[in-house]
């Protein structure tokens, strides 16, 4: 192989290495974003659960008042 081919091979190797680094960086960012979304969903579910519980308890209290 000539010097031109070797030079191109080296450039492609550098390019592939850069692409691998970019891919790894994107995967890390996506994973962090997914973790954050999962936490926000859990937080939202807990909030809805507590609102439903508070509403249910208030309804039970109203029923008790009407029964007495």
**pLDDT 10s digits, 18-54:** 999 999 999 999 999 999 999 999 999 999 999 999 9
Determine the distance from the C-alpha atom of residue 43 to the mean position of all C-alpha atoms in its chain, rounded to a whole number: 13
CA 5, 6, 10, 11 torsion-angle sign: negative
User: On the CB side of 22, how many CA atoms lie within 13 Å of its CA?
Assistant: 6
**DSSP assignment of 32-51:** HHHHHHHHHHHHHHHHHHHH
> What is the band of 1 on the pLDDT scale with cuts at 50, 70, 90?
low
- Name the pTM for this structure: 0.59
What pLDDT does residue 2 have?
A: 79
């Amino acid at each position: 192989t000539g010097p031109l081919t070797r030079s191109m091979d080296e450039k492609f190797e550098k390019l592939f290495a850069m692409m691998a680094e970019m891919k790894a960086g994107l995967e890390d960012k996506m994973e962090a974003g997914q973790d954050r979304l999962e936490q926000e969903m859990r937080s939202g579910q807990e909030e809805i659960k507590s609102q439903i519980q508070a509403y249910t308890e208030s309804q039970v209290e109203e029923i008790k008042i009407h029964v007495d």
